[in-house]
Amino acid sequence: MKARTRFAPSPTGYMHIGNLRTALYEYLIAKSGGGDFLLRIEDTDQKRYVEGATDIIYSTLKTVGMNWDEGPDIGGNYGPYVQSERKPIYAEYAHKLVELGGAHYCFCAPKEESEDDEAEENAVPAKFQDPCKRLSLEEARARIAAGEPFTVRQTINKKGKSRFHDEVYGDIEIDYDDLDEGVLLKTDGFPTYNFANVIDDHLMEITHVVRGNEYISSTPKYNLIYETFGWTPPVYVHVPQVMKDAQHKLSKRNGDASFQDLVAKGYLPEAILNYIALLGWNPGDDREIFSLSELEKAFSVERLNKSPAIFDIVKLTWMNGCYIRELSAEDFHRLALPYYQKCLTRSLDLAALSKVLQPRIETLADIAAQTDFLEQLPDYDLALFENKKMKTDRDIANNALRLVAALLPQVEPWSNENLFEQLKKLAADNGLKNGQVLYPVRIALSGRETTSGGATELAAILGREESLARINVALQRLGEQG
């Protein structure tokens, strides 16, 4: 059987890490077996709809390379793929379910309906004893014909335990008495999540459903709907939540980063996707770096974990650094340019700067902190010129910088490689060690004890005029103190 999976997000804002991981696992289940991956927009909760959120969903999936085979923008044989465009379908099946005894009409106050709907959306059981359940179908239809507002609620008459299998958690039993008879169709004609996803998954011939393990307790309610209609349920794949720590789940509401936030902080989409693949799945060996195509080949449902996954920003940052170092020089420079434009205004050799930074940063956002001294020389402490390891003090630094200042106007070509050879020769000709020349130059050019680049790399980036100007500043300050 060819797998058909769907990613069915609600357009309520940014793409949360947990949502993106669900999409990835759905995608990998489909693609690892040559199946189809569908995109369906679940916008039935109009109160939470955010303008532009659907575009964010499209953009995020395309950015990470998870292209869908069917969806709102490209169509398919099972559309529409936007739930608000499927209202007549839900109404038809809701009334059929009532006729089959799997649901009943409810005329309770909107307040109760609203509270129930909120519980459904958050996968939190909220027991509701519905007096309308005792109404006959004829009486209920008469009240509807009279114009009375109504909802359709699920009817749960079964006793004992519901039993079903999950690919991650195995065989599960849940007592029918623990299930709430929740709203399936609201007064405005929109379905709740618990009804719409069952109808759509069946009609779209979805074979595997991936969702968070908080929905395990609701699965018997879905299965009752499948059973009443005589349909076969999909394969269930419930995954543990992505956690901030052992007690708190990752949540945008609590200030935790979304996919868009991480990209804005300089993380590469490919690295983010690679990292979240490992939040609940492992390949069975020590390998950690995977492209999306490699994940398609390596992924298997059997290696999904039951334990909650802790989002470790330190691990993601390390992985991002690995991805940055694997970029071509051209690709890194292209990605770095917007960051240079934000923090640098002076004329610099940006290609040379990219060559220096690429092996030394972990996120693109590191660029600002690594380059601020290039924009403006800081007011540094002259004690930086004193370094036992380099065997320098202020007098040695003063002498070395005078020699360098005399040499630099004649250096051609002005490149890191040539500057390095010229300064090494200068040191040898004057009885100095390389570090006794290069270290003072680096301090004079940067005003920092540590920098991403060495002395001649910084000189190549700053250019001849600015390099000489900074060395002369150092000489003036050393002379004044001397």
- The mean per-residue pLDDT over the stretch 97-118 comes to 76
CB 245 within 8 A of CB 343: no
Task: Give the count of beta carbons closer than 10 Å to the beta carbon of residue 243.
Answer: 18
The torsion angle over the Cα atoms of residues 183, 186, 190 and 194, rounded to 10 degrees, is -10
Residue 1's pLDDT band (boundaries 50, 70, 90)? Answer: confident
Taking residue 196's Cβ as centre, other Cβ atoms within 10 Å add up to 25
CA separation (Å) from 402 to 203, 214, 428, 442?
81, 70, 15, 14
What SS3 state is found at 346? Answer: coil
Collect all residues with Cβ–Cβ distance below 8 Å to 144 and sequence separation of at least 6: 105, 150
Confidence band for 122, pLDDT divided at 50, 70 and 90 = low
d(CA 307, CA 370): 38
What's the whole-number average pLDDT of the chain? 93
Whole-number pLDDT of residue 408:
98
Q: Specify the pLDDT at position 113.
A: 44
> How many C-alpha atoms does 1 have within 13 Å on its Cβ side?
10
Three-class DSSP category at 228: helix
What does the alpha-carbon distance between residue 119 and residue 116 come to, in Å, rounded to a whole number?
5
> Which tens digits make up the pLDDT trace of 310-364?
999 999 999 999 999 999 999 999 999 999 999 999 999 999 999 999 999 999 9
pLDDT digits 0-9 by tens, 188-234: 999 998 899 999 999 999 999 999 999 999 999 999 999 999 999 99
- Ramachandran area for residue 160 (φ above 0: left; ψ -120 to 50: alpha; else beta): left
Catalytic residue flag (residue 306): no
Question: In this predicted model, which residue has the larger pLDDT, 285 or 254?
Answer: 285
pLDDT band at residue 36 under the 50/70/90 scheme: very high
Query: Given a cut of 50, is residue 403 above it in pLDDT?
Result: yes
CA-closest candidate to residue 196, choices 453, 8, 376, 31: 8
E strands within 168-207?
170-175, 183-185
pTM (two decimals)? 0.90
- 238, 212 contact by CB (below 8 A): yes
pLDDT tier for residue 114 given thresholds of 50, 70 and 90: very low
User: How sure is the predictor about 481, in pLDDT bands with cuts at 50, 70 and 90?
Assistant: low
pLDDT of 417: 97
Give CA–CA dist 219/213, Å, rounded: 10
Task: Report phi then psi at 94, rounded to 5.
Answer: -65, -45
Q: Which strands make up the sheet holding 103-106, listed edge to edge?
A: 103-106, 151-154, 183-185
Q: Which of 31, 186, 221, 252 is catalytic?
A: 252
SS3 24: helix
pLDDT tier at 270, thresholds 50, 70, 90: very high
Residues shown for the chain: 482
